[in-house]
Structures are given as C-alpha cells and as structure tokens.
Amino acid sequence: MLALAVVVAGAVAAVWIGAAILTAGYGFDITDEGYYLLSYRWWSSNHLAPTGVQYIYGPIFEALGYDIASLRLFRLVTVVGIHVLFGWSFVRWLRLRRPEAPNTPLWEAAGIMTILAAGGMCFSWLPLSPGYNDVVLLGSLLATSGVLWAAVAVDRGAKVTAWVPAATGCVMTVMVVAKWSSIVVISLIALSAIVVLAAQGIRSVARGIAWAFVGSVITAGLMHLLVVSLNVAIPGIFAVNRLIANTSHSPSDLLGMYWSTGFELLLETVRQHTLLLVAAVVAAVSHQPLVRRAAWVLGMVGIGLSIWRALNDGGLGGGPVNMTRYTVTLLAAVVFTLVTVVVVMLVDRLRRNPEPSSRSSVAKEKVRGWVILGLLTVLPLVHAFGTNSALYTIGFNAFAAWMALMLAVITGIEAAPRVARAMTATVAAAAILAVASISFGGLWLNPYRSFAHSQLTTTASGVPSLASIKLDRATAEGYTSLYERLRPYTQPPGRAVLAFDKIAGIVLLLDGRPVGEAWVSPREPDRTAAGIEADCTSGRPWWGSRAPILLFNRKVTNREVRALSACGLDFASDYTLLAPPNETIGLQVYLPTGEAAGGHR
C-alpha cells in the first residue's frame, strides 16, 4: 500500500509539475500579472508600492534577463522545493508520534510525495508569475517547518539548534516585506513555536526568540545593504498603505466578509456532501457488527455520491471560473477528516477504562502536539488574511497543510473501526486525485485571464518583453501592432507611460516605466492620483523633458486631468490623440503634442 501511495501521489505531482513546465511560456494577463511583472521590471527605481515583494522577485527577474517564462519556472522550483521540505519536516515529526508505523523509508516517502502532490493547488487559479501570495504561502510552510524541527528536538530531549529559530526569523522578515498583513500568520506560528519550546523551560523560549530576532535583523540588514535602502523602501510602502486605508475595506469589514463567505462555503459543503459526513460519524462509532455493516454501506454510497456531485457540478475543474465549485470538493475532504477524528476521540474518551493499547495515537497527544495540529488546521485560512476577497480564494493554495493534517489523522486513528480508517484514507486519496484535475484545469484549460492552452499559438513578434510567451493569434498581432506603432516614442526603454485602468501589462510590453504606482485601479482613483503627484513633488518630474505617454481603455476624466496638472502638464494643450482607438487595439493613446506632430526622438 505504501508503494502504491508513492506511485499515485508521484503521478499527481507529475501532472501539475509537467503542466506548469509546459505552460510556462504560454498566456499573459495584462492586469494582475502585468502589475507584478512591471513592478519587478522597475524594482530599483519605482518605490511606490503597497508591499515590498518587488524587492524579492525584482532582482531575480533582472538576473533572469526579464524573461517571463524563466520567472514562472523559478516559481515552480520554489513551490516544489518548499513543499518537499515541508513534507520532510512533517514526516520527521510524525514518525516520533507513530512508533507502530512501518519501519521502512516508504512510509516517509509516501507522506512527502502526498504533501508535494497537494502543492498543486498553488496552480489552481493564480497568475503563473509569482506574487506576494506566493511569498506568504511558501514562507508560512517554511516557518512551520522550523516549528516542526524544533518539536522533533524537544521530543528527543535535545537542544534546539540555533539555526532553526534563526532561519525562521529570516523567513518571517521576508514575509513581512512581501505583505505586511502576513504578521497575522507569523504571530500564530511564533506562538506555536513558543509552546513547543516551553517544554524545555523559559530559557529555551528566550534562546529561541533571541535567535529568531538575530535572523530577522541579519535579513533586514542584508536587504538594506545589498538590495534596497530601507530608508527608501519603507516610506514608499507606508505612503501607499495610508492611501489604501482610506479607500479599502476596514479590518472589521474584512472580518465580516471573511466570516460570511466562509460560512456560506461551509453550508454549501455540508449540503452537497451530507451523506458523506453522516457516514463519517457512523463509521467512527461502528464498534458493533450491525453498525459496522451500516457504516460500510453508507460510506460507499456517500463517497460515490460525493464523487458524482464533484463531477456533475464542476467540482474538479480548475481556474477562477471553478473556484466556488472545487473549494466545496476539497473542503468536504477536510471536514470529513475533522468530523472523523473528533468523533473517534469522543468515543475513546467515553469508553470505560480503555486499555492504553486500545487508544488511538491522536488521543494520546500532548499539548504541543495539539498546538501543531491546530496550526495545520488554521494555516490555510490565516495565511490569507489581508486579501480583499473571501479567505478561501487564497487559502486553498495552502492545501498541503490540510493534507498533512489528514495524514496525521489517517496514521493516528489506528484504534478506530476499520471502516473509519478505510474511509478516511479513501477520502484523502480522492482529494489528491482532485488536486491533479484542478491544477491541470487551472494551468491548461482555464488559465488566469487567458485562453486555453490550445489557443495560445503565436508570439508577439518584435516585442522583446514578451519574447518567451505565446498568446492567442489576435492578441499577439495586436500587441505587435501597438508596439511597432509606438516604438519611435518608447525607445530607449524606460519612457514614462501612464496607463488607465488595470493594464500594467501594456506598459511592460511597451518597455515603459510607470508613473506613481505600477497598479492603477478604477476603484481607487484618489490613490492613483496621489501616486502620480508623488512623482512630481521635487518640482521636476523624473522623466525630464519627455513627458509621459498616456494610455486609456476608458473615457478621460477630470481626475486624471487634475493629477497631470500637479506635474505641470495641461492635458488639453500638451497632449494629442495618436490615432483612432480601433488602430491601437482599442486604447486611446495620447502623445505629447510636439512628438505627435513629428518631433519624436
């Protein structure tokens, strides 16, 4: 069975890893992905940004020659490597708590490969290029791995090696740089680490905190010296976040939205998979032959019905279009596992004078073990804090943590009825197979704001920034046409380009540099205007005599006119429409009047 688990999990991992490799050079989203890449392209010169993720991926993008496909492959390598490390860390910890587990490396291999397979959810719907969500997710898994390593040392009665908390502190600093709201999940992980270290006394806790602080300070110092001066980066991040605070959701509004959307998802999961969850309860209490037979029947029917629902309702599809469907499928597996372990423990506790040998391993867990299991339970949702969408939109990308929890339950309910153990293993296996379908769909069939892989056949000829990417034919030809039409005005690279709204990718493909923030949203016009004005506060804009090119995918409003006037530009007299929008892929392109009249350079 262990060998079969390794093969199946390895096949699932191969599906999404292979799909990610094959699609690295296909599709391009000019909105979110375009924003990421544009900020990375000018990471060292444009410091107005809501996060510091550009200081993490920007130097890497530069080292890769600004090749988009290569950056996507870099993301894949980090996802695979960190999930393998997390899986290894988890099974090291779990081995000590499952002394009766088979004494073979296949046991560890099965666990690691299963967790790696679950990592395919990182490619379920997000853009292929990495963003701040990747840093927070992967950082959370790395920091949790540090807690697991510390827990192993404590369980063995050994001193926790200094590098473990120091490396964890390093990771946490990078997470805060990438997304300040990651402090929520960082606090939870830190609290778990303190509980683990407390088993060795207050000195061990103090030592762990001290080394984590050292790692954090060293990381911040190296970033300051080698990447970007914190005196430059931090003010830019603070400035943008002050603007966001005035236009975005308040913390109380976000918490309310998280609760309502999460509760709706849970209700829908229970509604669609009621029989499966009932079967979990019956199986967990089936110590009598008659109940056991009923549990087998309920289990088979419940699993079959749930699979039918997933197939019939699109619960195995990937991509944004299927997000509300596949999350129900996977949450059903998680809820089933939690219901099973809770009922098994209740039954174990209610039994009179049970022999120690007849108790499941989960019932023997100590406080620090439960803290780690609790961390795995809430990690997928907590790491997503800060998003303006439902938590589950980002949370399920960390499905590997929930799969680790499932493995802990499967291996820890050995005293439960056989039907309960068999059903839990079957549901977990079904969830892994679902990940293969979902990740493949998200990469191949329904990629983020792009076309299916079969339609991506053409390179935008002559557009250097998109040289490694294939697009659908109409889009590729449109980008080539736009690039050639504007090439006399955009060379050399770095010309100021202002693009409204959510078309940062167009600025990237024109080799332009953004004015103000790289992100321009129609919902936050005041934030956009403030960013433009911030680039003019010195009295002379950075672009010198070459005023920005303006791109609009909508009507020009007085708000943009006022923002430009703060930079000494009069839209009515200083700008001229280059050509009718139908000649510039539907965009209104405005050039400085002198250049439009033939004075370009």
Concatenated DSSP letters for 188-200?
HHHHHHHHHHHTT
**Is the pLDDT assigned to residue 171 strictly greater than 80?**
yes
Tens digit of pLDDT for each residue in 440-469? 999 999 999 999 999 999 999 999 999 999
Q: Which residues contact 187 (CB under 8 A, 6 or more apart)?
A: none
Report how far residue 520's alpha carbon sits from residue 502's, in angstroms, rounded to the nearest whole number.
5
Of residues 536 and 560, more confidence is placed in 560
User: What is the 3-state composition of the chain as percent helix, strand, coil, each rounded to the nearest 5?
Assistant: 70, 5, 25
Residue 45's CB is within 10 A of a number of other CB atoms, namely 9
The DSSP output letter for 581 is G
pLDDT of residue 600: 45
DSSP 11-51: HHHHHHHHHHHHTTTB---TTHHHHHHHHHHTTTT----SS
Each residue's pLDDT tens digit, 208-217: 999 999 999 9
pTM (predicted TM-score): 0.95
Q: What is the pLDDT of residue 161?
A: 96
**% of the chain beyond a pLDDT of 70:** 97
Distance, in Å, from the CA atom of 28 to the CA atom of 127, rounded to the nearest integer, reads 8
pLDDT band at 595 (very low <50, low <70, confident <90, very high): confident
The sign of the CA dihedral 321, 325, 327, 330 is: negative
End-to-end CA distance of the chain: 70
The per-residue pLDDT for range 490-527, each reduced to its tens digit, is: 999 999 999 999 999 999 999 999 998 999 988 888 88
Residue at 132: amino acid letter: Y
Distances (CA, A) of 590 to 131, 216, 491, 502, 514: 31, 47, 16, 17, 15
Mean residue pLDDT of the chain comes to 93
Rounded mean pLDDT of 322-336?
A: 97
CA distance 417 to 88: 29
Q: What pLDDT shows up at residue 328?
A: 97
Q: What is the pLDDT of residue 567?
A: 87
60-74, 304-318, 349-363, 373-387: segment of lowest average pLDDT: 349-363
Confidence of residue 438 (pLDDT cuts 50, 70, 90): very high
Q: What percent of the chain has pLDDT over 90?
A: 82
Spell 391-422 as b/e; 16+ CB within 10 A means b: bbbbbbbbbbbbbbbbbbbbbbbebbbebbbe
Q: Kindly tell me if the per-residue pLDDT of 247 is higher than 80.
A: no
Please report the pLDDT score of residue 31 as a whole number. Answer: 96
